[in-house]
Chain A
Amino acid sequence: MENCNSFTRRSFVKTAGLGAILAGTALSATACQGEVKQENKTKSNKKISYKSNGKPIEAKINLDTQEVEINPDVYVRYSACLGCYASCGNRTKIDAKTNEILSVGGNPYNPNCALPKLKFEDSLTEAYLANSFANQKGNLLRGTVCARGNSTFNAYKDKKRILKPLKRAGKRGEGKWKTISWDQLIDEVVNGGKLFSDIGEDQVIEGFKDVYDTKTLIDENSPEYGPKSNQLVMLGMRGDGRSNYPYLFGAAFGSVNFYSHGSSCGVAASAPIFTENSMWNRLDVPETEYALWLGTFPGANGKSFQLIAKNVEKRLKDGIHMDVIDPVNVGGAVTSKEKNITWHPIKPSTNGALVLGMVRWIIDNKKYSEEYVTFPNYQAADEKGWGSYSNFTHLVICDENHPNNRKFLRTEDLGIEGVAPAEGEEVQNYVVLDAQTNEPVQFSKTKKAVLDFTGELKGSDGKPIKVRTAFSLVKESAQSHSVEEYEEICQCEKGLIEKLATEWTSHGPKVGLANVGGTGSANGISSAWAEYILGALVGNYQMIGGSVPTSWTYDAWMSPRYVLFDIPDAPENSAQIDISRGGLNWQDTSEYKKRLESGEENPQPKLPWYSYTRGADNQALISLINKYPYQGKIVMSWMCNALQACPGAMREEVYARLADPEVIPLHITCDCFMGEHATFSDYIVPDTTPYESFGVITQEGFWHGRGSSVRWPVSEPKTEKLPDGRHMGYEAFMNDVAKAIGMPFFGREDGLKSLDGKGHPHFSDADYYLKSIANLAYDEKPVDDITDEEIKAQGLDKLPEEWKKCVSEEEWPKVLKVLSRGGRFDETKDAIDGTRTVMRMEFKVNVYSELRALQRNSFTGEYASGCIDWEPELLADGTPLRDKFSESDYPYTSVQYKPKFRSISMLSNSPFMQTLAHSNYFEINSEDAQELGVKSGDSLIVSNPTGDKMEGQALVREGIARKVFAVPFGYGHIAYGAKGYEIDGQAIEGDEKISKGIHLATMLDPQVSKDGVIYPYSEYELGSPARSGGAFKIEKA
């Protein structure tokens, strides 16, 4: 293997060793003057006092007896990782004397970290053994975290961490700051006023006290905007276990504008589910018999990447087959033909066509489950052992002349008998044709319905109504192209669709797919809906080995001890829409109606509206900078980087608006570092790190088990301590603001309630989260008390005294038990009920959605499809992208994927990550590289039709589709330490290592971005960022 040794044999003076080369900066080997005397030593086998460069070890384990001798100087505390948002566990090694984190690893009790994992009841001694090779235990049971999880503690050691409140001491965005006290921070943001008069800014700024007005409408002409309190816009909620706070704060304050990362993460993939309030389901990797990966790369990304990787390796070893459809071979488990996992390149943004082709093939060849698709209701399906039903057989009114056109046919449309709703319930009296009688009946009144019907039924007024079953609509849409045409669109290998469809229909319901990344394009909904329907053809929802409910756990929030997710005295909020323009069609807004009334022909909105999805974080940012539909008066950013997550938003025009107090009067950011949002803030609230904060996180997906990870302050926070013993952080800030303005729930002596109705103080994160951990500990069968021995092993007797007061004396030892394991998890097998999941709900697969069918394009008024349809990438007004920007002018398309060596917008400040991967690259196909005359390492300029230019190095690969460039996310920061700033007159230098790499710059949508409007290219029906696809040119620099 000669090529493995690429190091030329040079003088050792120049040779710095592999490690140094990996790191890019050669360590200088000190020159050894003169001749080296080379003693020909024989093997010495000497025993000397060898000085290890390792961290102190946590225990000694006798290999013969397996006896564990714990090192009292080192605590091993199990908690949860927050290197990304997959809620894996972690294992923190802590210096018992200094409270410093020595190193981090995985948590063997957590199913994301270990396969098999330890049982919750297993002792901590077993956990030490899980990290030992005594009796080979560690080789099987070890708990792991990935490269990111291993680097997270390294990132939080960044010397530039913000530990005290900061207020800007120059223009917003200028980078001049001064330290202020906590009291001043709270006072100023609450009371507002001329907050920056000291630097010559005279504008009066409204504080929380002023915006906390749940009565006065934002705009009397547009009552759907709701009251003024909605002008508090909170960006940043995650699967982090801490996000209850902004969610509940928004509700208690009277604002609908609290945003998770949903849209920038991939709302398209979940949109079909949200139209039916169904539970979010995911591929059950541990039990599946065939897995189809569409833009989620097994063993490289997904939630949790670790759990997927472990189970995929196991299932492949068991002999099952998997296919991976992706423009880029990201690596992961696709390492060898022996493993029976195959990567198939595809053109970006065409997954929808591929899957529609599969749907067509399955329908043409009648390979769907005849039994499943004809169930008209859940009871019928349930009786036969299925986990869900679909609305394939439900009738849809397809009649231009009928007032309910595009809606489902209901019993009242026909004047036939429906079902009366029970009190407080809503019944949708959908209609199907009974399979035996062919007569229309209310859908719950038969067990089998007609699948494929197009025809007329007599309406209640005697006139005929044209109706079709949802199945016939799906079929017609799927048959709009031939299988060959779909393959042509995807530019995939010939015969792939038949191959995939055959495999998909050969395992009953024990098949599943994973699709988030493949929906991140301007036509993402086309892919997402088709993929959703693919499951309904085989009935895999809520079936073991199919698509299983994710996020199943014990109750941490509503019982059995405390009520933590309900604010009975929260203000009413009359808002019908949120600031991201979700909730109404444009044509139903007051603005549209008024402009129409005033004689305007075809009024056009400034920005598009979305009727059936809400809460798009990237669109909230776009609304804020365009001050449309209304202005955000206070923006609170936390645990997010909407700017970087919205690939078209990182541009000078956007920075200028974020820096303008006329656009956003008050911007407060809570962060550990000077991130992108902090840079454009007025105040910065120091935040706690994942090793210093609480969080209760429900395990998300790709398995059928149950449980929650628990994160807790394994190390005392380094943010400044307040006089009452709390440390500064997001939770302390919210409580203190709430207290100052008299909000419900937060900052109150009786803010939290136990189930007996008794009130408890709510001022800190510990007040809240320790109670949720008590719930977790007591739900169903309460956990055992922790033993004194285990308390000692983890130093739990040294935890803050205040913590004990947050729960009852009886609860405390059980709370400690859950803390000591970093969560509570069941045995995975306990979640299986025969062929179905124990956890299941009345699950309907909405193959046709009325909600979607009634959304209208804001610019053309055209209705969206109610079911699957193939659309190429479209601009916001429905203009096909390629009509505007041709492939001959812009031959390339983009793919943005999740990085291995960064995490979303984090970890660029970790020296481990910086040296392991100092940059990302433009990954391009070797044949394209040849055409461009480019080799790996050459500089490229990639530009889009807006004229944005990205510069970076090429990585020439075989494992990427033609005419594509791929860039992993998370590189190319403009802040987060990349840029210098000043605090109290002291300069803090910028670090170019943090800014290195390419940030994908997508174009602005030209149909919307005019007359001063800034609108980055987005999904045309949902507004999520269009990361993959687009139109680009590549030149050699």
Chain B
Amino acid sequence: MADKQLCMFIDLNKCIGCNACSVACKGENDIPEAAWNTWIDSFDYEEDTNIYRANIPMQCNHCKDAPCVPVCPTGASFFSEVGTVLVDTEACIGCGACVEACPYKVRWVNPDTNTVGKCTFCHERTTNGLLPACVSSCVTQARYFGYMDDESSDVSNLLAENNGGDILHKEFELETHVRYKGLEHLKDYYGKTSVLRGGNIKEISK
């Protein structure tokens, strides 16, 4: 087990879909031009005759029993001491098994190095007390970060206030460490209207 567990809490009521997080992540991490470790899906939905625009930030959920880890043939995918799921690029052979195994599809293969990349919760930053880039750049304080097992932390308070928070794709039955407020409310609307991922139309399978 991890010694401590890092956790992110995202309040969807506060997210304005500005994508500062998506871009801050790109700026702070050297990842291939086309790869994104976090992004926002935005869509219109109607409720009580009014139209609202929902925004759902997404990224690696750093699952407790992440299915991407055991499928790795070399042990490159591993759980860190702070409860995050990381890839040791020295050991990675770029086979892509983990990319396939991740139900959230948040891993990618770097074509230049033939190794797998993903969100690390900004490992270097967060293990030295700094905020991850996405949280650091969240304009409306929709994203919170900290140790969930530290009872005084914002995230543990928010988890307590929100009954543990909502889990993306509960049906995957994974214990995720990115939790949401307001996700359950939106899930029935998702996919019924055109979704923009970042600023690009996302193909919908209705």
* Set B20, B73, B135: member contacting A39, Cβ < 8 A: B73
- Report if A48-B88 is in contact (Cβ < 8 Å); known contacts: A5-B169, A339-B13: yes
Interface of A is mostly: loop
Determine which of B99, B122, B141, B199 lies in contact with A900 in the assembled complex, contact meaning CB atoms within 8 Å: B199
When C-beta atoms are compared, the residue in chain B nearest to A136 turns out to be B154
With a cutoff of 8 Å between Cβ atoms, the chain B residues found around residue A13 in the complex are 96
In the assembled complex, A262 has its CB within 8 A of some CB on chain B: no
Residues of A in contact, count (CB < 8 Å): 120
Cβ–Cβ contact B1 & A43, under 8 A: yes
For B202, what are the chain A residues with a Cβ–Cβ distance below 8 Å? 6, 21
Q: A333-B16, A958-B193 are in contact. Are A5 and B104 (CB under 8 A)?
A: yes
Contact indicator B190/A61 (Cβ below 8 Å):
no
Contact residues in B for A338 (Cβ distance below 8 Å) = 13
Interchain CB contact (< 8 A) of A147 among B20, B69, B97: B20
Q: B16, A6: Cβ atoms under 8 Å? A: no
Asked whether A18 lies within 8 Å of B190 as measured between CB atoms, the reply is: no
B19 and A48 contacting across the interface, CB-CB below 8 Å: no
Report how far A16 CA is from B96 CA in the complex, Å. 9
Contacting pair B73 A22 (CB below 8 A): no
Q: Of the candidates A139, A150, A956, which one forms a contact with B24 in the assembled complex, judged by CB atoms under 8 Å apart? A: A150
Partner of A22, one of B39, B52, B70, B204: B39
Interfacial residues of chain A within 261-309, with CB under 8 A of chain B in the complex: 299-300, 305-306, 309
- How far is the CB of B65 from the nearest CB of chain A, in Å? 8
Given contacts A331-B55, A958-B193, contact A299 B33 (CB under 8 A): no
Contacting residues, chain A, for B194 (C-beta < 8 A): 936, 955-957
Complex interface: chain B residues within 8 A of A197 (CB): none
Interface status of A55 (Cβ within 8 A of chain B)? yes
Residues of A within 8 A of B94 (CB): 29-30, 32
**A146:B18 contact, CB within 8 angstroms:** yes
**CA A920 – CA B198 in complex, angstroms?**
11
**CB atoms of B145 and A133 under 8 A apart:** yes
Is there an interface contact between B88 and A139, defined as CB atoms closer than 8 Å? Answer: no
* A957 CA to B45 CA, complexed, in Å: 9
Q: A32 and B50: CB pair below 8 A?
A: no
Nearest opposing residue in chain B for A63, CB measure: B129
Report the minimal beta-carbon distance from A958 to chain B, rounded to whole angstroms.
Answer: 4
| Alpha-carbon distance between A11 and B97 when the two chains are bound, in angstroms | 10
Asked if B175 is at the interface of the complex by the 8 Å CB criterion, the answer is no
Most buried by B among A32, A300, A335: A335
Contact with B along A954-969 (1 / 0, CB 8 A): 0111110000000000
Tell me the minimal C-beta distance from B42 to chain A in angstroms: 6
In the assembled complex, how far is the CB of residue B26 from the closest CB belonging to chain A, in whole angstroms? Answer: 5
Contact of B35 among A23, A131, A140, A147 (CB under 8 A): A23
A464: CB under 8 A from chain B? Answer: no
A44 touches which one: B79, B128, B201 (CB < 8 A)? Answer: B79
CB distance from A150 to the nearest CB of B (A): 4
Q: How far is the CB of A906 from chain B (nearest CB, A)?
A: 14
By secondary structure, the B interface counts as loop
8 Å CB interface, A93-151 against B = 103-106, 131-134, 136, 138-140, 142, 144-147, 149-151
Residue pair A335, B15 in contact (C-beta under 8 Å)? yes
- Taking a contact as CB atoms closer than 8 A, the residue among A1, A916, A953, A957 that contacts B169 in the complex is A1
**Chain B, range 164-206, C-beta contacts under 8 Å to A:** 168-171, 182-183, 185, 187, 190-191, 193-194, 196-206
A319-374 residues with Cβ-Cβ distance < 8 A to B are 329-339, 342-343, 345
| Total number of B residues with any Cβ neighbor in A under 8 Å | 123
Q: CB within 8 A of B36: which of A23, A43, A139, A900? A: A23
* Residue pair B190, A3 in contact (C-beta under 8 Å): yes
Nearest residue, chain B, Cβ from A37: B73
The verdict on B106 contacting chain A, using a C-beta distance below 8 Å, is yes
Q: Which residue of A lies closest to B24 (CB)?
A: A150
**In angstroms, how far is the closest chain A Cβ from the Cβ of B169?**
6
Task: Give Cα A42 to B69, complex, Å.
Answer: 8
B48 on interface, CB distance cutoff 8 Å: yes
Q: Are A27 and B16 in contact (CB under 8 A)?
A: no
Inter-chain CA distance A3–B88, complex, in Å, is 32
B108 and A55 form a contact (CB under 8 A)? no
User: B31: which A residues are within 8 A, CB to CB?
Assistant: 19, 53
Question: Is the CB of A153 closer than 8 A to any CB of chain B?
Answer: yes
Question: Which residues does chain B contribute within 8 Å of A199, judged by CB atoms?
Answer: none
A5-27 residues with Cβ-Cβ distance < 8 A to B are: 5-9, 11-13, 15-27
Contacts of A5 in B (CB 8 A): 103-105, 169
Q: Which of B27, B71, B80, B193 contacts A50 (CB 8 A)?
A: B80
User: Which residues from 563 to 589 on chain A have a C-beta closer than 8 Å to any C-beta of chain B?
Assistant: none
User: Once the chains bind, are A4 and B169 in contact (CB under 8 Å)?
Assistant: yes
Given A329-B53, A955-B196, do A52 and B139 touch, yes or no (CB 8 Å)? no
Pick the residue among B19, B51, B183 that contacts A916 (CB under 8 A). Answer: B19
Instruction: Return 19 A-B CB contacts under 8 Å, by A number.
Output: A1-B171, A3-B205, A6-B202, A12-B97, A19-B31, A20-B34, A32-B97, A45-B78, A55-B30, A133-B145, A136-B146, A139-B146, A149-B20, A309-B140, A310-B140, A900-B17, A912-B27, A917-B199, A936-B204
Known contacts A12-B97, A919-B200, then 10 further A-B pairs from the complex at CB < 8 Å, ordered by chain A residue? A5-B103, A15-B99, A18-B105, A133-B153, A144-B139, A299-B18, A335-B15, A901-B198, A917-B199, A958-B45
Residues of A within 8 A of B (CB): 1-9, 11-13, 15-30, 32, 36-55, 57-63, 103-106, 131-134, 136, 138-140, 142, 144-147, 149-151, 153-154, 299-300, 305-306, 309-310, 313, 329-339, 342-343, 345, 900-901, 911-913, 915-921, 926, 936-937, 953, 955-959
